[in-house]
Amino acid sequence: MRLKSIFSNSFGTLISRITGLGRDVLMASALGASIWSDMFFVAFKLPNLFRRIFAEGAFTQSFMPSFIASRNKGTFATAIFLRFLLFLTAFSLIITIFPEPITKLLAWGWSWELIEETAPLTAINFWYLDLIFIVTFLGTLLQYKEHFATTALSTTLLNISMIFALYLYMKADPKTVAYALSFAVVIGGFLQVITHLYSLRKHRLDRLLIGGWKYRNIKDVTEEKQKFTQLFIPSVWGNSTTQISAFIDTILATFLVTGSVSYLFYANRIFQLPLALFAIATATALFPAISKAIKNNQEEKAYASLSKAFWLLSFLLGFATIGTVLLAEPIIALLFERGKFGEAQTLQTAQVLQMYMIGLLPFGLAKLFSLYLYATHRHFKAAKFSLYSLITSVTGSLLLMQSMGASGIALAGSLGGWVLLVFTIKEVGLEKLWIILRSKYSFYFIVSMALFSLMVWQFEKFA
The percent helix, strand, coil of the chain (3-state, each to 5) is: 85, 0, 15
Q: What is the DSSP string of 306-347?
A: HHHHHHHHHHHHHHHHHHHHHTHHHHHHHHH-STT--HHHHH
Is the same domain home to 292 and 340?
Answer: yes
Is the same domain home to 7 and 113?
Answer: yes
Is the same domain home to 329 and 391?
Answer: yes
Q: How far apart are CA 431 and CA 256, in angstroms?
A: 44
Give a yes or no: residue 225 inside a domain: no
**Among 129, 196, 185, 151, residue whose Cα is nearest residue 60:** 151
Is the same domain home to 122 and 234?
Answer: no
pLDDT tens-digit profile of 142-200? 887 777 778 878 888 999 999 999 888 888 888 888 899 999 999 999 999 999 999 88
Is the same domain home to 196 and 318?
Answer: no
Give a yes or no: residue 395 inside a domain: yes
Q: What is the DSSP string of 390-426?
A: HHHHHHHHHHHHHHHTHHHHHHHHHHHHHHHHHHHHH
**Among 389, 412, 285, residue whose Cα is nearest residue 11:** 285
Segment (H or E) for 266: helix 260-274
Q: What is the pLDDT along the chain (463 residues), one digit of tens a residue?
A: 555 666 666 677 778 878 877 777 677 667 654 567 667 766 777 777 676 666 555 677 677 777 777 777 778 788 888 888 888 899 889 988 988 887 777 666 667 888 888 888 889 988 998 998 899 888 888 887 777 778 878 888 999 999 999 888 888 888 888 899 999 999 999 999 999 999 888 888 777 776 556 555 656 667 767 777 777 777 777 666 777 777 677 677 767 776 676 678 778 878 888 887 777 777 777 766 776 777 777 777 777 777 788 888 889 999 999 999 888 888 888 877 765 567 888 888 899 999 999 999 999 888 888 877 877 778 788 888 988 999 999 999 999 998 898 899 999 999 999 999 999 999 888 887 888 888 888 898 899 889 988 888 877 666 5
> For 443-457, b where at least 16 C-beta lie within 10 A, e where not — what string?
eebeeebeebbeebe
Residue that is last in its domain, among 200, 220, 240: 220
Is the same domain home to 114 and 157?
Answer: yes
Interaxial angle between packed helices 174-202 and 206-214, expressed in degrees from 0 to 180 and rounded to the nearest 10: 80
Is the same domain home to 170 and 268?
Answer: no
Structural domain total, the chain:
2
Q: How far apart are the first and last CA of the chain?
A: 39
Is the same domain home to 208 and 295?
Answer: no
> Which residues are CB-neighbours of 193 under 8 A, at least 6 positions away?
131, 134, 135, 138
Is the same domain home to 20 and 161?
Answer: yes
pLDDT tens-digit profile of 195-229? 999 988 888 877 777 655 655 565 666 776 777 77
Instruction: Give residue 193's identity as a one-letter amino acid code.
Output: V
Q: What is the DSSP string of 161-213?
A: HHHHHHHHHTTS-HHHHHHHHHHHHHHHHHHHHHHHHHHHHHTT-HHHHHHHH
> For 125-152, b where at least 16 C-beta lie within 10 A, e where not — what string?
bbbbbbbbbbbbbbbbbbbbeebbebbb
Residue that is last in its domain, among 178, 200, 220: 220
**Among 110, 92, 94, 96, residue whose Cα is nearest residue 50:** 92
Is the same domain home to 68 and 207?
Answer: yes
Residue that is last in its domain, among 198, 220, 242: 220
Q: How far apart are CA 240 and CA 48, in angstroms?
A: 12
Is the same domain home to 148 and 201?
Answer: yes
Is the same domain home to 171 and 263?
Answer: no
Which domain covers residue 274, as residue numbers?
A: 230-463
Give a yes or no: residue 133 inside a domain: yes
